[in-house]
A and B are shown apart, each in its own frame.
Chain A
Amino acid sequence: MLAPSPPLSIRGLFKEYVPGKPVLRGLDLDVEAEGITAIIGPSGTGKSTLLRCINRLVEPTSGEIRLHGENLAALRGRALRLARRRIGMVFQEYNLVERLSVMENVLCGRLGHVALWRVFLRRYPQADIDRAFALLDAVGLPEHATRRADALSGGQRQRVGIARALMQRPDLLLADEPTSSLDPRTAVEVLELLARLTGEVGVPVLLNIHNVELARRFARRVIGLSEGAVIYDGPPDGLRDAHLRAIYGGEDWL
């Protein structure tokens, strides 16, 4: 029997912000149907760029990004918007709309599906509201639905960010340093939540993360990136100091 093709498949991804200085140099990457794939690497090595190329917040210079067979890198206009609806994203700075209620922030995950007049009049479909409540229960914020997002703590905001991303019923979830602005304990709690909720619905996660320990703890697979190329790709317990030296350089810090 043939192995099913991976949901996300990247081939020869190049990105240069400045001509002649590529950030990603012909990256090849397949992401399996489930579990967290952690991407580690020093700052400025293209982790964020990689994630943002996938949902095209950043334009790839060349290469192929296939999600369930569709080449995301070639999409434009409406087709791109429809593809983005299937890709959830969680941000380092949460990127909630501060002056909107928690409920509306979660419903923002459905903006690609709801008619503009409904959005204007706040007449969201009842099914969406039910789902938003269910997700708020799941992330542990059931009583915060009517609070304004700017009244929440960092950990609570990131929980709302996760609920918003899951509201999209995504085929893939991109998490760009979701815990870097959180204290260590909250970071673990948020990652546990992210792992559990995406595991329940079987959504693969691409997780950019600075903290190697957290990557080891939560990821099924770790990808070590340095200067736009893959240095390590394998299970977390195969990651040795030698790899980390190769990824981050130097050795005094180990």
Chain B
Amino acid sequence: MAVRDPAAPLRREWHRFTPAERLARWALGLVCVAALVWAVRAIDIIPEFLADAPEQMADLLVRMWPPDLAHYYPAVHVALIETLHIATLGTILSFFLAVPVALMAARNICRVKALNLLAQLILVSSRSVNSLVWALIFVAVFGPGPAAGTMAIACRSVGFVGKLLAEALEETAPGPQEALRAAGAPWGHIMAKGIWPQVQPAFWGIALFRWDINVRESAVLGLVGAGGIGVVLDDAINFFQWERVATVLLAVLAVVVVAEVVVTRIRARLI
């Protein structure tokens, strides 16, 4: 007869996962690896090109150096300013479009379920289309130039701005709104004094954040002819003027860094 450990019934075992969970985790890991392998095989890497990639990169950098800074003014400068205008105007325009949609999407403000869904559909469709695709559409409508770029930026931003704004609206405390309603305030007054003060920091935060993104997005819109610095970049690449390409890239980098710093500073003051 085997010797029984008298403490055995008292010993309690603990495992983080049940056997079934462990199996599932292994399976999940296997799926991830499979997906990775499949993806790598699908993108058709040509071994010869991969092998001399470092060489090519080095060559490109050498061609870019030194940047053709003389080219900055006026061509790059004018395009850069145009890019900023596209970003700013596009952001402002997007707010005019996004505010009504956000009000319609916020379930605590618009009580009609069908309208909530419609607003959400508008917001999702705006976001599902990349700004380059929007730009292609508006170049077809308005012809090439910054007008198309501005509309593209605006339409792409509506989804982003509207979604964040609707979330901010839904997060507002109901108490103050209830108090104003109890005092007999009409709808517009409740919006102005019960809701707006609560979403104001979020509103300006979203505006700055989106403007920051739009500065970067509008820099590439020129690739499809929608105005801005992308046009200059595209031309320079097409003519193999790599020194000019370097100048454009440096200019964009400088603007993005400045925008980042400015936006961060203002946002810190807002709250």
9-residue interface stretch from B19-27, B151-159, B191-199: B191-199
- B189 is contacted by which of A104, A119, A165 (Cβ under 8 Å)? A119
What chain B residues lie within 8 Å of A110 (beta carbons)?
183
Nearest CB in chain B to that of A88: its residue: B183
A78: min CB distance to chain B, Å: 8
Taking CB atoms and an 8 Å cut-off, the chain A residues in 147-183 that contact chain B are 161, 164-165, 168, 174
Interface string of B188-214 (1 = CB under 8 A from A): 111011100110110000000000000
Interchain CA distance A99-B181 in the complex, whole Å: 18
Given A99-B198, A164-B183, A168-B183, decide whether A111 and B176 contact each other with a Cβ distance below 8 A. Answer: no
**Pairwise interchain contact B193-A108, C-beta atoms closer than 8 A:** yes
Main secondary structure of the interface of B (DSSP, over half): helix
Query: Does B180 lie at the interface of the complex (its beta carbon under 8 Å from any beta carbon of A)?
Result: yes
B32 CB–A CB distance under 8 Å: no
**Would you give the shortest CB distance from B249 to chain A, in whole angstroms?**
42
Tell me whether A100 and B197 are in contact in the complex, defined as CB-CB below 8 angstroms, given that A108-B179, A116-B189, A120-B192 are known contacts. yes
| Residues in chain A near residue B190, CB distance under 8 A | 111
Q: Which of A81, A94, A116, A161 contacts B184 (CB 8 A)?
A: A81
How many interface contacts (CB-CB < 8 Å) are there between A and B?
85
Nearest B residue to A109, CB-CB: B183
* Residue contact B184 to A93, C-beta cutoff 8 Å: no
Nearest CB to that of A176 among chain B residues?
B182
* CB of A182 to closest CB in B, whole Å: 16
* Contact call B183/A111, Cβ cutoff below 8 A: yes
For the complex, give the distance between the alpha carbons of A112 and B180 in Å. Answer: 9
Check if B175 is an interface residue, CB within 8 A of chain A: yes
Partner pick for B181 among A57, A86, A94, A98, CB 8 A cutoff: A57
Contacts of A112 in B (CB 8 A): 183-186, 189
Q: Is B178's CB within 8 Å of the partner chain A?
A: yes
Contacts from A to B (Cβ < 8 Å) = 55, 57, 81-89, 91, 93-100, 104, 108-112, 114, 116, 119-120, 161, 164-165, 168, 174
Known: A97-B194, A112-B183, A164-B179. 17 other contacts (CB 8 A): A82-B184, A83-B184, A84-B183, A85-B184, A88-B183, A89-B182, A96-B179, A98-B176, A99-B197, A108-B179, A108-B193, A111-B183, A111-B189, A111-B190, A112-B186, A116-B186, A120-B192
B interface list, Cβ under 8 A from A: 173, 175-176, 178-186, 188-190, 192-194, 197-198, 200-201
Can you pick out 9 interface pairs between chain A and chain B where the beta carbons lie within 8 Å of each other? A81-B184, A84-B182, A84-B183, A86-B184, A89-B179, A95-B178, A99-B197, A111-B186, A112-B183
